[in-house]
Structure 1
Amino acid sequence: MSKKTIVISGVNMVDGGIFTILDNCLNELNKFIENKDINVIALVNDSSKFNYNNISFISLPKSKKNWLFRLYYEYFYFNKLSKKINPDVWFSLHDTSPNVKCKRRFVYCHNPNLFYKPSFKESTLEIKVGIFYLFYKFIYKINIHKNTNVFVQQFWIKNAFEKMFDLENVIVTQPEFVKEEVNSTIYLDDSKVHFFYPTLGRSFKNIELIGEAILLLPDEIRNKIKVNVTIQKNDTLYADYIVKKYPLKEINYLGKISRKEVFAYYNSMACLLFPSKLETWGLPITEAKGFNKPMLVSDLPYAKETVGNYENVSFFKIDKPNELAQLMRELVTKTIDYTGNKYPYENEYQITSWESIFNHILN
């Protein structure tokens, strides 16, 4: 049997949850192909961020520079590259279905922007959110029917894709949580109850809800809390807006921190806050759950699907800071009665591990 070649494309996955997905995929694939007659070529923005001995890398640093380069790679360069490599499988991990010559093609769709209509204010703070809402449906649609399968992360997206693009080959593939062996902790003032929100300075991350909730709390509670948020001034226009509007002593604007530090915060924190208005998954929810930590999370379908079966979680409306404030107060005073959550799709077909994905795309 001839050696099989797989191309994994993740050229625009450079930070946040999408980079974690790419890194976890390559980490698991590197182990999966050990002692197998499989050749893997990964197309990434910066190969120096990876160290997987069984995988060959091609760096395409211009892919994140602007959309013109991205479109060039997806619809012109990758076509030439596929003819040169002649792969058995092309797996695009970042939404787009490129023009390639390959019998088995797969795309992993994880950008939810086409489902979220931003307000005028959000569009002014983050122009590309408005642009994505207008154009992402078109971008998704290009070549989508040429894929063997379309992978999405949740059932609500599967149902939407089937209707929107007239598809019958959509498979739900939950991101597999790969818990890193991090035993370190972050020193946190033990006179405070520490909340943690690992996030980016994106407008739909809804960080202002935290600021408004804090302003509703009485002084005796505010004096006991610290909310650690991973943004800082000059990150983005939205981050600047948040830092300027909520210069509160209760909020610690950490800026971008390493994965090791994120996991150390999970170890040390009292509770995860996750007020995001839109996610295709919400990886910090899965990660915090892996540490058996309490969570206060948006009352939205994506969040409930991500939380799954879990007791120490309560939900709040994304436009109701009073609900979040009440939950924070109850957590601080140790009077909280968690609502808990049950996963609603126990009997539905889905793929739940990277190993299962790899077996699927190869067979």
Structure 2
Amino acid sequence: MKKKKIVISGVNMVEGGIFTILHNVLQELSEYIKNKDVQVIALVHDASKFNFPNIQLIELPKSKKSWLYRFYYEYFYFKKLSTKIQPDVWLSLHDTTPRVIAKKQFVYCHHPTTFFKPTWKDWKFDYKIGFFSLLYDNLFKLNINKNHTVFVQQHWIKEIFEKRFNITNVKVAIPQFVEEISKEKIALNENKIHFFYPSFPKSFKNIEYLFEAIKLLPEEVLNSCEFHITGLKNNTTKYVNYLNEKYKSTEVNRLKLLNKHMMLKYYNSIDYLVFTSKIETWGLPISEAKAHHKSMLLANLPYAKEACGNYENVSFFNLENQKELAEMITEIVAKKHVFQGNKTAYNTNEDLHNWKEVFQYILTD
């Protein structure tokens, strides 16, 4: 019996959350194909970062050198490569649909900026955010009709894709979240209420909203709280420099980016997650805080409500008004806050809930 060949393309996934997606996919797929007649070929930027049995790696180190290389690979080289490999399935994990020859083709879309209207601040602090918000619509659209299925992470994105690109083959593949719990804690002041905003500090993470809300707090409330924000220490990006200069007199615990082990310690120790991001395709800290049964104050946006799901100890604030968050924090200190709670608004029966279900779906004849 001839082995099925599947190509996983992740040449653009080199750091942060998108690298985690690629790593998880290859790790899960290596386990899934044990004792199965499936050959997996993964296209990656740096093969040294992966060591999974049953996965053949093809390294393309120039893929992140420039957008010209990215376009060359996606729309020229991959067609030649697919002719040579002759895959049964080609799964692109990074938003774009390449020109390839395969029996079935799939794309996994998770870049949030196509749904985001950048402000002048976004252009100022990271022009790529503004550029991608303009570019990605056209990149998503290119060849999208060649896919058997387009995977997205949430239902509100599915609705936008169906309308914007006039397609009906969009399926929600919920990001696989592996619940990790430890008992280790960070030594924090037990006499204060601790609020935690873990983020990779890009301008759309909207960290200044939290700073502005903190500035509105009465002194007696401020003295009862401590705010912990990741990514503001040992970071010299334009956005972080702006935040640290503008709010240098605002007392918060400025943390460096934390590894997984330290993140778990903080989740065990803090009281509230605060999440002020303007746009996400999921919002992993929401899932992490929920797994730790933490109370949450979240932006009143579709991504946050869908990532939160059914949960009682959550309230939502309007991003147009920092006073709303300040009032919630004041109520919490006074022990008068009543959580709004949240209910799942979508039928999730047809969703794919983990990578194993995705593999079964794409490898089914």
The TM-score bracket by the shorter chain reads over 0.9
Structure 1 residues 277 and 251 mapped into 2: Cα distance closer, same or farther (>3 Å)? Answer: same
| Correspondence 1:225 to 2:225 | yes
Residue 106 of structure 1 aligns to a residue in which SS?
strand
Q: What is the CA deviation profile of residues 217-272 of structure 1, one whole-angstrom value per residue up to 9, with x for unaligned ones?
A: 11222223222222135442112211211124532221222122222222222111
| Correspondence 1:153 to 2:153 | yes
The offset of 1:13, in angstroms, is 2.1
| Correspondence 1:255 to 2:251 | no
| Match of residue 74 from structure 1 | 74
Structure 1 residues 44 and 260 mapped into 2: Cα distance closer, same or farther (>3 Å)? Answer: farther
Amino acid at match of 1:260: H
| Match of residue 215 from structure 1 | 215
Residue 6 of structure 2 aligns to a residue in which SS?
strand
Work out the CA distance in 2 between the residues paired with 1:15 and 1:326: 37
Work out the CA distance in 1 between the residues paired with 2:185 and 2:227: 16
Work out the CA distance in 1 between the residues paired with 2:36 and 2:257: 38
| Correspondence 1:200 to 2:200 | yes
Work out the CA distance in 2 between the residues paired with 1:337 and 1:324: 13
The 5-angstrom pairing of residues 1-363 of structure 1 reads: 1-180=1-180, 182-232=182-232, 234-248=235-249, 250-346=251-347, 349-363=350-364
Work out the CA distance in 2 between the residues paired with 1:34 and 1:281: 30
Structure 1 residues 38 and 186 mapped into 2: Cα distance closer, same or farther (>3 Å)? Answer: farther
Work out the CA distance in 2 between the residues paired with 1:53 and 1:182: 28
Contact kept in structure 2, 1:209 and 1:319, CA below 8 Å: no
Contact kept in structure 1, 2:309 and 2:344, CA below 8 Å: yes
Structure 1 residues 192 and 56 mapped into 2: Cα distance closer, same or farther (>3 Å)? Answer: farther
Moved more, 273-282 or 344-353: 344-353
Work out the CA distance in 1 between the residues paired with 2:57 and 2:228: 35
Contact kept in structure 2, 1:222 and 1:250, CA below 8 Å: no
Contact kept in structure 2, 1:225 and 1:250, CA below 8 Å: no
Work out the CA distance in 2 between the residues paired with 1:287 and 1:32: 25
How many equivalent residue pairs? 363
The offset of 1:319, in angstroms, is 2.1
Work out the CA distance in 1 between the residues paired with 2:106 and 2:184: 38
Work out the CA distance in 2 between the residues paired with 1:99 and 1:8: 14
Work out the CA distance in 1 between the residues paired with 2:171 and 2:77: 28
Flag structure 1 segments of 5+ consecutive residues without an equivalent.
none
TM-score between the two structures when normalised by the length of structure 1:
0.94
Amino acid at match of 2:214: I
Work out the CA distance in 1 between the residues paired with 2:322 and 2:347: 32
Q: What is the CA deviation profile of residues 8-60 of structure 1, one whole-angstrom value per residue up to 9, with x for unaligned ones?
A: 12222233332332232223222212222222222223333333223232333
Residue 150 of structure 1 aligns to a residue in which SS?
strand
Work out the CA distance in 2 between the residues paired with 1:184 and 1:78: 46
Work out the CA distance in 2 between the residues paired with 1:200 and 1:152: 22
Structure 1 residues 4 and 209 mapped into 2: Cα distance closer, same or farther (>3 Å)? Answer: same
Work out the CA distance in 2 between the residues paired with 1:185 and 1:52: 32
Moved more, 113-122 or 137-146: 113-122
Contact kept in structure 2, 1:151 and 1:172, CA below 8 Å: yes
Work out the CA distance in 1 between the residues paired with 2:293 and 2:250: 28
Work out the CA distance in 2 between the residues paired with 1:91 and 1:242: 39
Residue 91 of structure 2 aligns to a residue in which SS?
strand
Percentage of matched positions with identical amino acids: 53
Structure 1 residues 190 and 222 mapped into 2: Cα distance closer, same or farther (>3 Å)? Answer: same
The offset of 1:308, in angstroms, is 0.6
Work out the CA distance in 2 between the residues paired with 1:181 and 1:57: 32
Contact kept in structure 2, 1:201 and 1:235, CA below 8 Å: no
Contact kept in structure 2, 1:5 and 1:39, CA below 8 Å: yes
Residue 263 of structure 1 aligns to a residue in which SS?
helix
TM-score between the two structures when normalised by the length of structure 2:
0.93
Work out the CA distance in 2 between the residues paired with 1:267 and 1:69: 43
